[in-house]
Amino acid sequence: MITERKPKNIFTQGPIAASFIADSIQKHNTKTNIGGHSIFLGQVRADVIEGNTVKAITYTAYEEMALEKMHLIREEIFAKYPLVCMHVHHSLGTIAAGEICLFVFTSSAHRKAAIDACNEVVERLKAELPIWGKEIFEDESYQWKENK
Amino acid sequence: MPVQVIVFGQLTDVMGNNPVMIENAADTSELIDQLNQRYPALVNKPYIIAVDKQIVTGHTALSGNNTVALLPPFAGG
């Protein structure tokens, strides 16, 4: 099925609330052609670097470019996997350690497509979207996050 | 023809958060030469270049009214 999909805004100011994620799951109960969901949640980790603990990450993005790129990734993922739907949310602004900064949610009739698509979206958005993270330490110093 | 330059991530430590206007840069190489003279700390920083949101490589011609973005390694997620 070919459907026209408009670029969606993936960015949320601040952390992604657990209640938002729960509501998002709940909303799928009318889509009864779905048999499997896959969800990835990224959480800000309190890394300790030379005795200094990360207390938060401040995310910024080249938003227009990121949304255009995410739209292309979305089109390619839908062309590759038989998904029913896919939702991506990424935080901007300052997210404290322990809070959720990334929510990727894929759904399909059978589990494999949802799981594989979810993994691929997470890998691609980390590699291809112009997003940056400033790791803020407890003493207010900072370093720029590097993806591994 | 002025070109607007915007930077992100660690490059804001070098060039700040506001767009920088560069005059008389015929291509991205000339633009980077001018930026390196103005911001010596930029010289050894890793980044890729996007012209009007498209990633480019090599000497890309600038026609004026372009927005050139310097993008350090991405760190989303």
Q: Find the closest chain B residue to A148 by CA distance.
A: B75
Q: Do A147 and B77 touch (CB under 8 A)?
A: yes
B20 touching A (Cβ < 8 Å): no
Mean pLDDT of B13-20: 96
Domain that holds residue B58: 3-71
pLDDT value of residue A7: 80
In this structure, is residue A6 part of a structural domain?
Answer: no
A129/B2 Cα distance (integer angstroms): 27
In this structure, is residue B31 part of a structural domain?
Answer: yes
Q: Do B9 and A144 touch (CB under 8 A)?
A: yes
Write down the residue that tokens 């930026």 correspond to.
B35
pLDDT value of residue A143: 96
In this structure, is residue A3 part of a structural domain?
Answer: no
Which residue of A125, A130, A145 is in closest CB contact with B8?
A: A130
pLDDT value of residue A3: 57
**Chain B: nearest CA to A100, how far in angstroms?**
10
In this structure, is residue B62 part of a structural domain?
Answer: yes
**Which chain A residues are closer than 8 Å to B76 by Cβ?**
59, 61, 66, 90, 102, 125-126, 129, 131-133, 147
pLDDT value of residue B64: 81
Burial B37-70 (b: 16+ CB within 10 A, else e): eebeebeebebebbbeeeeeeeebebeeebebbb
**pLDDT band for position B24 (50/70/90)?**
confident
B50 touching A (Cβ < 8 Å): yes
Q: Do B53 and A145 touch (CB under 8 A)?
A: no
Q: How many domains does chain B have?
A: 1
CATH of residue B32's domain is: 3.10.20.30
Mean pLDDT of B15-32: 94
Q: Find the closest chain A residue to B48 by CA distance.
A: A130
Q: Which of A72, A67, A76, A65 is nearest to A117 (CA)?
A: A76
CATH of residue A109's domain is: 3.90.1170.40
Q: Which of A94, A110, A84, A86 is nearest to A10 (CA)?
A: A86
Mean pLDDT of B42-52: 96
In this structure, is residue A4 part of a structural domain?
Answer: no
Q: Give B62-77 pLDDT, tens digit per residue.
A: 988 899 999 999 999 9
Q: Do B75 and A125 touch (CB under 8 A)?
A: no
Q: How many domains does chain A have?
A: 1
In this structure, is residue A108 part of a structural domain?
Answer: yes
Chunked into runs of 10 residues, chain A (148 residues) has average pLDDT values of: 71 98 98 98 96 97 97 98 98 98 98 98 98 97 93
Q: How many CB atoms lie within 10 A of CB B11?
A: 24
Domain that holds residue A92: 11-144
B73/A147 Cα distance (integer angstroms): 8
In this structure, is residue A2 part of a structural domain?
Answer: no
Q: Six-digit token pair at A12?
A: 């949320």
Distances (CA, A) of B33 to A98, A144, B37: 43, 25, 6
In this structure, is residue B77 part of a structural domain?
Answer: no
Q: Find the closest chain A residue to B55 by CA distance.
A: A65
Residue A140's region, left for phi above 0, alpha for psi from -120 to 50, else beta, is left
**pLDDT band for position B1 (50/70/90)?**
confident
